[in-house]
Amino acid sequence: MFSATGVNVAEAEAFFERTMLHGHPVLSDMVAIYVDVGVVPGHIYFHERRFPKERLATCDTRPMCEPHDSCIVLQTTAVMKVGEDGGSD
């Protein structure tokens, strides 16, 4: 996952084929991800209200350092596909 400035924010598993998350449709310009490796502090997760880290969402945003071991969504442009050999597409 990358910030708008190109900073590597976290490593995660992306589920491009997933169309629903937490009972809400995943829009075509978004991808469901499972955040599994540490996140750079200082970045904000902007979709907490609709796709919360935990039920029930109590805020609109959340620091990106908190969704570790959680399924969330991000814009597809923030996700870079990496092959099993570590090379990027």
How far from the centroid of its chain's Cα atoms is residue 5's Cα? 16
What's the pTM value of the predicted model, to 2 decimals?
0.73
At residue 24, what is the residue type? H
pLDDT-based confidence at residue 25 (cuts at 50, 70, 90): very high
Q: Is 35 exposed, middle or buried (0-12, 13-18, 19+ CB in 10 A)?
A: buried
Q: What is the pLDDT of residues 46-84, one digit of tens each?
A: 888 888 776 667 788 888 777 778 888 888 887 877 766
User: What pLDDT was estimated at residue 54?
Assistant: 66
Taking the domains of the chain in order of start, what are their residue ranges?
11-78
> Is 31 a residue whose pLDDT tops 90?
yes
Q: Is 21 exposed, middle or buried (0-12, 13-18, 19+ CB in 10 A)?
A: buried
